[in-house]
Amino acid sequence: MGKRLIKEVPTSSLPRERMEIYGAEALSDQELLAILLRTGQHPYSVMSIAGNLLKTFGGLASLRQATLHELEEIRGIGRVKAIEIKALIELGRRIQTDHERAAPPVRTSYELAQQLILEMKDHKQEHLVCIYLGSV
């Protein structure tokens, strides 16, 4: 796995510097994750750890489902980094939920389905939901 030292990487290629220059939208999932992880763990660079996380879990969507124990099994991810990753994922979920709460009222079955999918997609077991409809 990547044993290249950060000192050996051109400054313009480092994730934090690229974000300052080009903005967050220009960065890959791996680069964004590397910024949040902050440091690697000898002999692995932060970029290789971020890449390994994404590869192991099949991307950000599946990373969201990872348990603390599963995260800690990744080389370079200890207890603290695993907790930080889970906290970050929860913050992202809450941001999305807050955004949805501020959305206009649901007017169609499609809008209702989209809202329920966003709210329930992370549940690991089946849930029964009752929806009461009223006229406006």
Q: Please report which confidence band the pLDDT of residue 4 belongs to, taking 50, 70 and 90 as the band edges.
A: low
Better pLDDT: 135 or 33: 33
Q: Please report which confidence band the pLDDT of residue 7 belongs to, taking 50, 70 and 90 as the band edges.
A: low
Angle (nearest 5°) at CA 14 between 9 and 20: 150
Range of the domain at 19: 6-103
CB 121 within 8 A of CB 60: no
Can you give the CATH number for the domain in which 43 is found? 1.10.150.20
In a domain, 109, yes or no: no
pTM attached to this predicted model: 0.66
Q: Using a pLDDT cut of 90, give the percent of the chain over it.
A: 49
In a domain, 40, yes or no: yes
What's 104's DSSP letter? Answer: P
Q: Which residues contact 56 (CB under 8 A, 6 or more apart)?
A: 74
Q: Please report which confidence band the pLDDT of residue 5 belongs to, taking 50, 70 and 90 as the band edges.
A: low
In a domain, 112, yes or no: no
Most confident of 32-36, 41-45, 132-136: 32-36
Residues 82-114 have pLDDT tens digits of 999 999 999 998 888 876 667 677 888 888 888
Task: For residues 32-39, give the mean pLDDT.
Answer: 94
CA-closest candidate to residue 66, choices 42, 47, 84: 84
In a domain, 82, yes or no: yes
In a domain, 32, yes or no: yes
CB 4 within 8 A of CB 45: yes
